């Protein structure tokens, strides 16, 4: 289990954090020692092993948490937004660990995230909104089922425009300024190109993305909520409140 907010012990060193986890999860001493070294090497924190966790950057903390989750044996590992608030390099690094894990240790890795582009490489994707499962499938299937390819064309003349609009009225998705949006498929693209190719000012295809899938499933409204006691406490801790860490 890797949590969204860091649940490391800031006053313990990197190694002590891993030790504590090993003890709590009942990993025998010899194995614990071995695993700690292995996992420190995996997340590239060996040089930092005797530094207090509070001295690590947020990306390093996240890496340490991943190492921690791997000290004991588990068949499934849950990452709660492992990349939230991190820079691009750290995010890329973390995903490379996650992929290695899946491949090398044959563990089921369950990842939650807000960065929808990150889940492209996953085996299965589940979209959850307000606690309800809206969709669960492979990324490709999701894209196929929930998101159509959209052809965006801008004809050169008004005559052509009228012609296209009447001809593809059944496929019309809408008009945005000058461009016409058509619900598309590969054959349609070919047909349009063959017929109007020279009379178009521009043509683009909006490829289906998981982002589009997500938005189409969950809608576009913002989700504002009042800060609960938990958020207030967290804010207090972030301000450097005493007796927190």
Partner 1 sequence: MTNDDTTAMRRSPLLIQLGGLYGIWLREVKRAIRDRGQLVGGISRPILWVLILGIGLNPYFRGEVYGEVTFVVPFTYLQFIFPAVVVLNILYTSVQSAVSVIWDREFGFLREVLVSPMSRGMVLLGKVLGGATVAMVHGCLVLLLARFADVPLTLSDIVKALGLMAMLAFALTSLGVVIANRIRSFEGFGVFSNAVILPLYFTSSSIFPLDPALTRAQARITYPEWLVTLVEINPLTYAVDALRGVLIDYNQFDPRLGIAVMAVAGLVLFAIALIDFRRA
Partner 2 sequence: MLTLRRLARDLGGLGIVIGLLLLVSVLPPDTSLDEVKANGAIRACIPTTYPPLVTSDPDRPGLDIELLREVADHIGVELLLSPSDAIGRDFNPRHWAVNRGKCQMLAGGVVDSALTRSFLETGPPYAETGWAVLAPAPIANVEGLTVGVLTLVSGLDRIGLSSYLRANDVAVRVLRNEKALVDGLANGELDAGVTEAVLAGWLAAENGLWVAPLPDELARYNLVFGMWKGDLTLKRKIDQAFRQLESDGTLATVLERYGAARIGQNAPVPEL
Residues in touch with partner 1 (CB under 8 A)? 1, 3, 5-9, 11-12, 16, 19-28, 31, 34-35, 52, 68, 72-73, 105, 229-230, 232-234, 236-237, 241-245
Euclidean distance between CA atoms 168 and 145, whole angstroms: 22
Residue 35, number of CB atoms within 10 A of its CB: 20
Q: Are strands 108-112 and 76-80 parallel, antiparallel or unpaired?
A: parallel
Instruction: Name the binder of 21 from partner 1, partner 2, none, CB < 5-8 A by kind.
Output: partner 1
Instruction: Name the binder of 105 from partner 2, partner 1, none, CB < 5-8 A by kind.
Output: partner 1
Residue with smaller CB distance to partner 2, 13 or 74:
13
Residue with smaller CB distance to partner 1, 35 or 146:
35
List phi, psi (to 5°) of 167. -70, -40
Euclidean distance between CA atoms 116 and 73, whole angstroms: 29
Euclidean distance between CA atoms 65 and 59, whole angstroms: 10
| Min dist. Cβ of residue 49 to partner 2 (A) | 8
Residue with smaller CB distance to partner 2, 99 or 245:
245
Length of the chain: 245
Residue with smaller CB distance to partner 1, 28 or 197:
28
Instruction: Name the binder of 49 from partner 1, partner 2, none, CB < 5-8 A by kind.
Output: partner 2
Q: Where are the alpha helices (DSSP H) in 70-183?
A: 88-104, 139-146, 158-167
């Amino acid at each position: 289990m890797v949590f969204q907010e860091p649940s490391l012990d800031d006053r313990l060193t990197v190694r002590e954090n891993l030790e504590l986890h090993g003890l709590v999860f009942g990993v025998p001493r010899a194995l614990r020692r071995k695993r700690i070294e292995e996992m420190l090497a995996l997340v590239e924190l060996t040089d930092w092993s005797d530094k207090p966790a509070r001295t690590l950057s947020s990306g390093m903390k996240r890496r340490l948490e991943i190492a921690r989750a791997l000290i004991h044996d588990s068949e499934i590992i849950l990452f709660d937004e492992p990349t939230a608030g991190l820079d691009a390099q750290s995010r890329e690094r973390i995903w490379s660990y996650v992929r290695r894990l899946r491949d090398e240790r044959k563990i089921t890795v369950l990842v939650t995230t807000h960065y929808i582009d990150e889940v492209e490489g996953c085996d299965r994707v589940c979209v959850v909104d307000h606690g309800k499962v809206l969709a669960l499938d492979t990324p490709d299937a999701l894209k196929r089922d929930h998101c159509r390819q959209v052809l965006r064309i801008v004809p050169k003349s008004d005559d052509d425009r009228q012609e296209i609009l009447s001809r593809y009225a059944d496929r019309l998705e809408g008009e945005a300024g000058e461009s016409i949006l058509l619900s598309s498929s590969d054959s349609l693209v070919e047909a349009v190109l063959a017929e109007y190719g020279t009379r178009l000012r521009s043509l683009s295809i909006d490829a289906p993305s998981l982002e589009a899938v997500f938005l189409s499933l969950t809608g576009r409204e913002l989700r504002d909520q009042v800060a609960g006691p938990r958020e207030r406490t967290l804010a207090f801790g972030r301000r450097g409140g005493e007796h927190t860490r």
